[in-house]
Amino acid sequence: MSETIFSKIIDREIPADIIYEDDLCLAFRDINAQAPVHFLVIPKKPIAKLSDADEGDQALLGHLLLVANKTAAQEGLEDFRLNVNNGAGASQTVFHLHVHVLGGRPFSWPPG
């Protein structure tokens, strides 16, 4: 996988407002927030998109969701939306797997 803005955040080559970090992942505020609370949870392991993950990534993928939940609670969210874009046709612009966590406002369905 080629270097991305997210790998540069992991390596501390560019700054980010990091709100959670452990050995497997980190969470940071989205600089193009689409809700009052909008942060990303990314694995430190470079996986370009969800469809590139394999069975060996099962625990990591579950960990990302648990961190999203824990960090949402830390941010005061009871209700929130998770979003994972897979590929350019689904609006993925950074090809490093990431989970968007959005909250702090009502959401409608379908999402656009």
Over residues 59-110, the pLDDT tens digits come to: 999 999 999 999 999 999 999 999 999 999 999 999 999 999 999 999 999 8
Q: Is residue 43 part of a domain?
A: yes
Q: Is residue 112 part of a domain?
A: no
Over residues 27-42, the pLDDT tens digits come to: 999 999 999 999 999 9
Report residue 23: phi and psi, to 5°: -65, -25
Task: For the chain, give percent helix, strand, coil, nearest 5.
Answer: 30, 20, 50
Cis peptide, bond prior to residue 110, ω within 30 of zero: yes
Q: Is residue 108 part of a domain?
A: no
Q: Is residue 36 part of a domain?
A: yes
CATH number where 58 lies: 3.30.428.10
17: confidence class by pLDDT, cuts 50, 70, 90: very high
* Owning domain of residue 65: 5-103
Q: Is residue 17 part of a domain?
A: yes
The pTM of the full predicted model, rounded to 2 decimals, is 0.95
Tokens 């497997």 map to which residue?
Answer: 24
How many structural domains is the chain composed of? 1
Is 100 catalytic? The answer is no
3-class secondary structure for 30-48?
CCCCCCCEEEEEEECCCCC
Query: How many residues does this entry show for the chain?
Result: 112
Q: Is residue 51 part of a domain?
A: yes
Active-site entry in 38, 63, 96, 98? 98
112: confidence class by pLDDT, cuts 50, 70, 90: low
68: left (phi over 0), alpha (psi -120 to 50) or beta: alpha
